[in-house]
Amino acid sequence: MKITKILVALSFLFAITTANAGELTVTGNMETTYHAQSDKTTGNPFGMDRELKFAASTELDNGVTVSVFQDTGDSLTYGNSQIMFGGVGGMFDIYVGSDSDPVDAIDDVTPSAYEEANGSGSGTYTSNDIGDNAGQMGIGLKVSLPVLGALNYKHYPRVDSTKVADNASSGDANATSGSAYSASLTTNLGELPIVGSFLDGATLRTGVAEKDHSQVANVDDAYDATVALTYSTGNVSLGVQKKLHNEGEGATAATTDATFYKDTAIGIAYAINDNLSISYNKYESYRHANAGEPVQETDAFNIGYTVGGMTIGFQEASTDNDDYTTDAKDDTRTLGIAVAF
């Protein structure tokens, strides 16, 4: 009798497991680059980037999909992770984890054949990027709104840069930080009523984020805002993006003036054929910190060639007023070979 009960229990468990079995995939990429700088000491010019991603998905009896993933960093340590419930109520996607910050995802969406203008190390852009909440643990929601388009919103209960295990909380780690949010809206202008037929190929992306980086009394929050307009027709793609990054007042005193950046990114790309493309990209950054600082400007020319899962890219970039210092230069030349698998 006891053996029968055990067999019945095992059969039931096996049936439940197989009924909910999902699909596991492992993907990744590796890139090697040769990076030279004419105005600075290069040292060894060879570099490498590598990443693995483990992903799985399944579907519940009520039609809700469940997908999870875990990626790795360059040293193959744990990176970001996420679990998403898709089609909740037939309308929403709800996700939890440290990935998919809405504003970080649209940091620079101007078209390029290889890299952003400042994407290969030309110029000193260390603090001005939007998307500061990336990598923080939070809960998000994605929904498609009539006319307006795809909305992605994420809330962070505490931006303390702590990724705790299950059945635990971050406690008082970085206790001076508070909550945050990030939101983006992607609108396909070609789908707008009445005027849509004149705007086919154009996409408008907007984003805003705010972070309570300090709970000291009267200290302003840090915040980001961006708007980007891209347009594609035939083999040509165009884009312009404006970005504002405000670091908020000093974390220890409300009397410290906030440093903020106002940036403009421009991209023009042309696909010569299905495999080969070229682009011109420009990045301008104004920093409000010290009186009289010049605008940092980077111009870049990109070539990209794709064959199968391999991409070969080249960028020639030149920066004027590097690190917001008058007449300082930072010119780079980068060749990269990336393989996705």
Tell me, letter by letter, the H, E, C secondary structure of 69-113.
EEEECCCCCEEEEEEEEEEECCCEEEEEECCCCCCHHHCCCCCCC
pLDDT at 9 over 50: no
As a whole number, mean pLDDT of residues 172-187 equals 90
| Residue 131, pLDDT score | 92
Beta-carbon-side half-sphere exposure of residue 96 (alpha carbons within 13 Å): 6
- Dist CA 257 CA 136 (whole Å): 26
| Residue 7, pLDDT score | 38
The CATH number of the domain holding residue 247 is 2.40.160.10
pLDDT at 297 over 90: yes
Which is nearest to 286 in space by CA: 228, 243, 330?
243
Predicted confidence band of residue 244 (pLDDT cuts 50, 70, 90): very high
| Residue 252, pLDDT score | 54
pLDDT at 66 over 60: yes
| Residue 40, pLDDT score | 76
pLDDT at 317 over 70: yes
- Dist CA 94 CA 153 (whole Å): 10
As a whole number, mean pLDDT of residues 162-187 equals 89
Q: For residue range 145-167, list pLDDT tens digits in order.
A: 999 999 999 999 999 888 888 88
As a whole number, mean pLDDT of residues 79-101 equals 94
Tally the domains of the chain: 1
As a whole number, mean pLDDT of residues 174-178 equals 82
Which is nearest to 72 in space by CA: 106, 102, 28?
28
As a whole number, mean pLDDT of residues 94-117 equals 95
| Residue 74, pLDDT score | 81
Of 12-26, 192-206, 320-334, minimum mean pLDDT range: 12-26
Contact 25, 70 (CB under 8 A): no
Contact 266, 100 (CB under 8 A): no
| Residue 1, pLDDT score | 42
Residue 99 is part of which domain span? Answer: 2-340
State the pTM of this model.
0.87
- Dist CA 133 CA 295 (whole Å): 26
